Structure 1
Amino acid sequence: MPPCQCLGSGSDSGQAQAEQAEQAEQAEQAEQAEQAEQAEQAEVRLVEFWGSATKAVTLMASTSISGLPDDLIQEEFSYGDHDLQTLTVVQPREKGLWNDHGRWIVYIHGGAWRDPLVTDKSIYPTIQHLLEDSTKKELLLSHIAGIASISYRLSPHPDYPQDETTPPNELRDAKHPDHLEDVLTSIEFLQSKYEFGENYILMGHSCGATLALHTLMQQDILGEPESRLSNYPSIVVGVSGIYDMSLLCENHSEIPAYRDFTIGAFGDDPKTWDRLSPAKFADFTKYFPADGKLFLFHSIGDELIDVAQIDAMKDRFRRSCAEVPLEVSKEMLNDEHDEIWARGTGMAKVVVMVLESS
């Protein structure tokens, strides 16, 4: 009897071990399936913005600002021969309706340097929201002389292929520094018409925030002894910006789109990414006027740009530009990445905070 009991005990033990191994394998498979699902969901979210931007475009006004008051005028200008070298301006029809001596807002859209559905028109929902609210409208009218939004040449996009039949003025084949050069040219175009000097707020979303800071870095980036801008902006605003390209790609290494759009715009050399990353730039101090200021915003609902980007930019700026005021907000916004501008409410909050704080 004892040997039988011993054999039975060993059999039970082996069965228990087998069950434990099976449970461990099932748990591992479940974890892998969950990770795969999360990666797939992340890729879907990226396609909505970095990809086709269909969600954002559905939210966004298409061709004009709805309900624009009769005392305001919306104008479109070309600053180059390419179809994307355009900008939109909103200002009063007559002097005195807004603050003629107020600042201009100059906005640079995002879209990963490549999305053809995100253009200068992406500012429309923000303007509409500011004008619909009487308090926000009064703040805008008392502080701002005009609003301009810039389009610029874009890099190729895999979802929107072009071929040899595409006219040169429609090609999306931009590579750095094409995007930056367009932004600089468009700002000087505005300066030639409106002569606002340094009295402007340069504001960008996502890669538009990168480009806004690139305007300050331009001489180092382009290797030129003189600035292409007659005046640097007095205020720079970055909203959900890309400030460290290598860090962004590392933190989202499981999603190829991040690396793809970075390579599409800047090439595949990480050393180039680092040289062009605002969070790794030596010193912005000399590019800000005496009353200059930098604002950085992150949304807690942003599913595409992680908080490490604003933290990297904040830390670098505070170390290298201690004398230039810096205001950082990581809790005021709760919109998803594209909703910040597509709904208009998030970007309008940014405008209000900047105007009230400057």
Structure 2
Amino acid sequence: MTATFNTPQEMPYGPAHPLQVLDLYRQCSDPDAYWVTFIHGGAWSDPEMTKSGGHPLIRSLLPKYPRLNAASINYRLSPHPRYPSNGNAAKHPDHIDDVRLALSFLQERYSMRREKTVLVGHSAGAYMAFQVDAGCGAAAAVVVGIGGVYHLGRLVEEYADYEGFVERAFGGGWRQVDAEGLAEVEDGGKGGGRVVLVHSSQDELLSFGQSRYWAGVLRGRGRVVKEVYGAMGNHNEAPKGTELVGVVEAELEELEMESAKGN
């Protein structure tokens, strides 16, 4: 199959909403193909943040890895005050239900295997990457969070004005969601994948606090965690930069080496 790196195939993964779609880049039909899947950010509500946010990363990787497929996921959004007429009305757990549905679609339709997958989430997408993965390799061999939100309570404590979008996305009981996620994070002894937390020093929307907190939580549960900090552009530029490409390349190469040892 000939790869067409600039024109992904838009695929519906659910029947209920026009945002239940993903962009599919499939250049290898081998069931042992590697995968990179991307979950965009945008505070669970910004319609300007879409699956296209994963395209720069994916298009940088595909020519280098002929046995790599990729997908970037849209999901239903919560209301946004700047766009009151767009009809978005999702509320937790709609967003994460959609991500789970999209990953199941890829696993069932295209034989995407968790031990061959790098799951990348940006900002709110990083929160969802760990919701779906529970830090234990349930969804992917490697989870990469970039400029991530990992604890809503700590987020609002540091940035009081963020409570508005958190409540629009999660409702009045949003404080319970962190506890639910933490309860699902299994100990390292149960197996599971690696974690890479990437955070730009030029991020104007989030401090290092979220990433450092989450690294501590996961290491406390026995997870293997890498932290990558440096000048990578602002909050929304970092997912498009060469630094993230290098991080994901390193993880793909490690997966390839692990596979070779297994054979």
Instruction: Give 1:288 deviation, angstroms.
Output: 6.8
Cα pair distance change 1:88/1:270, threshold 3 Å: closer
Contact 1:216–1:287 (Cα < 8 Å) also in 2: no
Structure 2 residue corresponding to 1:216, chosen from 133, 138, 141: 133
Structure 2 residue 49 is matched with structure 1 residue 118? yes
Q: How does 1:188-337 map to 2 (within 5 A)?
A: 188-198=104-114, 199-217=116-134, 232-253=139-160, 256=161, 258-269=162-173, 271-276=175-180, 278=181, 280-281=182-183, 283-285=185-187, 289=191, 292-320=193-221, 322=222, 324-331=223-230, 333-337=231-235
Question: Which secondary structure does the structure 2 equivalent of 1:353 belong to?
Answer: helix
1:27 aligned partner: none
Question: Which secondary structure does the structure 2 equivalent of 1:82 belong to?
Answer: coil
Q: TM-score, normalised by structure 1?
A: 0.63
1:155 aligned partner: 78
Gaps of 5+ in 1: 1-67, 132-136, 219-228
Question: Which secondary structure does the structure 1 equivalent of 2:118 belong to?
Answer: strand
Contact 2:150–2:211 (Cα < 8 Å) also in 1: yes
Alpha-carbon distance in structure 1 between the residues aligned to 2:189 and 2:57: 28
Question: Which secondary structure does the structure 2 equivalent of 1:296 belong to?
Answer: strand
Alpha-carbon distance in structure 2 between the residues aligned to 1:238 and 1:70: 27
Alpha-carbon distance in structure 2 between the residues aligned to 1:350 and 1:85: 28
Cα pair distance change 1:105/1:306, threshold 3 Å: same
Contact 2:31–2:112 (Cα < 8 Å) also in 1: no
Instruction: Give 1:344 deviation, angstroms.
Output: 4.0
Instruction: Give 1:73 deviation, angstroms.
Output: 6.0
1:13 aligned partner: none
Cα pair distance change 1:282/1:212, threshold 3 Å: closer
Cα pair distance change 1:189/1:283, threshold 3 Å: closer
More helix by share: 1
Instruction: Give 1:145 deviation, angstroms.
Output: 2.5
Alpha-carbon distance in structure 1 between the residues aligned to 2:189 and 2:76: 25
Alpha-carbon distance in structure 2 between the residues aligned to 1:69 and 1:195: 18
Alpha-carbon distance in structure 1 between the residues aligned to 2:148 and 2:190: 19
Structure 2 residue 1 is matched with structure 1 residue 78? no
Contact 2:6–2:59 (Cα < 8 Å) also in 1: no
Alpha-carbon distance in structure 2 between the residues aligned to 1:149 and 1:235: 16
2:93 aligned partner: 177
Could you say which structure has the larger radius of gyration? Answer: 1
Question: Which secondary structure does the structure 2 equivalent of 1:149 belong to?
Answer: strand
Question: Which secondary structure does the structure 1 equivalent of 2:68 belong to?
Answer: strand
Instruction: Give 1:317 deviation, angstroms.
Output: 0.8
Length, aligned pairs only: 251
Structure 2 residue 228 is matched with structure 1 residue 355? no
Cα pair distance change 1:315/1:116, threshold 3 Å: same
Instruction: Give 1:128 deviation, angstroms.
Output: 3.5
Which 4+ runs in 1 deviate beyond 6 A? none
Per-residue CA shift, 1:134-185, capped at 9, x if unaligned? xxx43x33xx5200111000000000012xxx7xxxx310100000100011
Q: TM-score, normalised by structure 2?
A: 0.84
Contact 2:117–2:142 (Cα < 8 Å) also in 1: yes
Alpha-carbon distance in structure 2 between the residues aligned to 1:182 and 1:268: 21
Cα pair distance change 1:124/1:197, threshold 3 Å: closer
